[in-house]
Amino acid sequence: MNIEKGLDKVVKTIRVMITDQPGFLGKLTTAIGSEGGNIGDVRLMRSGLTHNVREITVYVDSDQHLERILQAVGQVDGVTIEEVIDRVQKVHEGGKIAVRSRVELETIGDVRKIYTPGVASICRQIQKQPELAQRYTAISNSVAIITNGTAILGLGDIGPVAGMPVMEGKSVLFDKLVGISGIPILLDSKDPSQIVETICRIAPTFGAIKLEDIAAPDCFEIERRLVERLDMPIMHDDQHGTAVVVLAALLNVTRFTSTRLQNATVGIIGLGAAGTGIAKLLMAYGIKQVLGTDLSAAAMAMHEENGGVATDLVGLMERSPIVVATTGCPGLIKPEMVQPGQVILALSNPDAEIKPQQALEAGASFAADGKSINNALAFPGIFRGALNARACRINNRMLIAAAKVIAQYAEDGELVPGILNAEVHTAVADAVAQAARVSGAVKHQL
């Protein structure tokens, strides 16, 4: 089974001026097809007496592939290329988020209510009863999305500013999926002590802290120290959000195969933030045999300290019916390594350790990549539930509750549901809030 929804393609839009006579549009599409371009939408933008302008969406494999298509189109009589539009770049221009007011501001009376002098009475009330900030400010619905840019997607240490588009994307998902205000915070530091101190000082602004794309091993220390110092939900998404969705997928794998997950042997290739987070949650769920491999001896030692078994890549592939890879190394898993009936979750983005189709052709029974097994299925509902319950931390019972709900919402034959299924995020939030209350993660019961 392959739950990948589409091919890895680059989307471009070609704007062309075409002679407005029969056959010219056909010549254009034929030229695109002759170079292997897959045509999507064709839109008429404007018409003239002798020519019209159309935008044609084309799916290509690479910039080089696009160049071949443009050369073919350029040779078609009656067709002139006006512009090549990158829709991904267009949607990012100006940024993807903004801070907007929730109240009207039309009269001087409105100003006096939301600012001085009216706001003074609200400030005095919060001074006397600090818990009223939950009612009268945006703090209770705000999550800081904090990165230092040292582990952005599969791109590595590209710096905090280059990672900002990812943080904005997380903010959009928070807003659209669960109504949370996610505020990106970029930290120009690789010193764990500086990072912890900075976050602790800005923490009163937020209801929760979401750590994002911070490289291992610093991410483990940073999260641990923040949890010790701050009485609020804190989660490193690369560890725990990814782990939740992997657990959800594996719950469905074992349901399809009528096996007991706790008795399965799971192999984790890559023991960085994601791999270690996955291993720890799987062991917390009760899986007894979690193999792990990494180029770092320190990471292997940490895996064993956490209760896992360290091995090499070959041994792991031979001994693990279920394999989860989070290395950031495209092509690391060769087709000949795949065992018959194996489950392969190759999760590195943007390029997986092995493409799902390759794994299936090599004999895997299930295969997926990070486009479907994506932490965006988990983090919105987890934080929504933690904020709703006014939890003071996020624990394993909350994470496992989230995974179980995500698994339940997968469609027949799929490992996980779609990211844009709003019911999933609502149900995850409810389950997480309930688990927070039952597990004692709520300091003051609502």
Helix (H/G/I), strand (E/B), else coil: 345: strand
CA distance 240 to 246: 10
Q: What is the CATH number of the domain that holds 219?
A: 3.40.50.10380
Strands in 38-47's sheet, in edge-to-edge order, are 38-47, 51-60, 10-19, 79-85
In a domain, 122, yes or no: yes
pLDDT of residue 444: 60
The catalytically annotated residue of 90, 115, 288, 443 is: 115
Indicate whether 158 and 183 sit together in one domain: yes
Please give the full DSSP string across 9-59, using - where no structure is assigned. Answer: -EEEEEEEEEESSTTHHHHHHHHHHHTTPEEEEEEEEEE-SSEEEEEEEEE
In a domain, 262, yes or no: no
Q: Token pair 């280059």 is at which residue?
A: 162
Q: Which residues of the chain have pLDDT under 50?
A: 1-7, 445-446
Q: Which of 148-160 are b and which e, b meaning 16 or more Cβ less than 10 Å from the residue's Cβ?
A: bbbbbebeeeeeb
In a domain, 286, yes or no: no
- The letter for the amino acid at 55 is E
Strands in 309-310's sheet, in edge-to-edge order, are 309-310, 289-293, 265-269, 322-325, 343-346, 366-369
In a domain, 59, yes or no: yes
Indicate whether 128 and 49 sit together in one domain: no
Domain boundary among 63, 92, 121: 92
Indicate whether 36 and 143 sit together in one domain: no
Indicate whether 122 and 55 sit together in one domain: no
Cβ distance 318 to 338 under 8 Å? no
Is 170 an annotated catalytic residue? yes
Report, in angstroms and rounded to the nearest whole number, the Rg of the chain calculated over CA atoms. 25
Q: What is the CATH number of the domain that holds 28?
A: 3.30.70.260
Q: Token pair 């001026």 is at which residue?
A: 17
Helix or strand holding residue 92 (H, E): helix 87-92
Indicate whether 123 and 87 sit together in one domain: no
Q: Token pair 């669960």 is at which residue?
A: 178
CA distance 146 to 149: 9
In a domain, 133, yes or no: yes
Indicate whether 155 and 76 sit together in one domain: no
Domain that holds residue 51: 10-92
Please list, in sequence order, all residues whose beta carbon lies within 8 angstroms of the beta carbon of residue 381, skipping any fewer than 6 positions away: 177, 178, 402, 405, 424, 425, 426, 427, 428, 429, 431, 432
Sign of CA dihedral 440, 441, 444, 446: negative
The catalytically annotated residue of 12, 170, 210, 355 is: 170
Domain boundary among 237, 260, 277: 237
In a domain, 141, yes or no: yes
The residues pairing with 144 across neighbouring beta strands, listed in sequence order, are 183, 209
Domain count, the chain: 2
Helix or strand holding residue 393 (H, E): none
Cβ distance 369 to 346 under 8 Å? yes
Is 210 an annotated catalytic residue? no
Cβ distance 181 to 246 under 8 Å? no
Length of the chain measured in residues: 446
Peptide bond into 321 cis (omega under 30): no
Sign of CA dihedral 3, 326, 10, 420: positive
Cβ distance 287 to 307 under 8 Å? no
Helix (H/G/I), strand (E/B), else coil: 7: coil
CA distance 228 to 93: 39
Domain boundary among 67, 92, 117: 92
Backbone angles phi and psi of 260, in degrees to 5: -95, 120
Q: Where are the beta strands (DSSP E) in 352-423?
A: 366-369
CA distance 415 to 393: 28
Cβ distance 317 to 333 under 8 Å? yes
In a domain, 32, yes or no: yes
Please list, in sequence order, all residues whose beta carbon lies within 8 angstroms of the beta carbon of residue 404, skipping any fewer than 6 positions away: 248, 251, 431
pLDDT of residue 44: 95
pLDDT of residue 90: 87
Q: For residue 292, give both structure tokens.
A: 């792990």
Q: Where are the beta strands (DSSP E) in 215-264?
A: 234-236
Sign of CA dihedral 69, 71, 72, 74: positive
Indicate whether 49 and 113 sit together in one domain: no
- Cα angle 409, 410, 415 (rounded to 5 degrees) comes to 145
CA distance 57 to 16: 11
In a domain, 152, yes or no: yes
Please list, in sequence order, all residues whose beta carbon lies within 8 angstroms of the beta carbon of residue 409, skipping any fewer than 6 positions away: 417, 421, 423, 424, 427
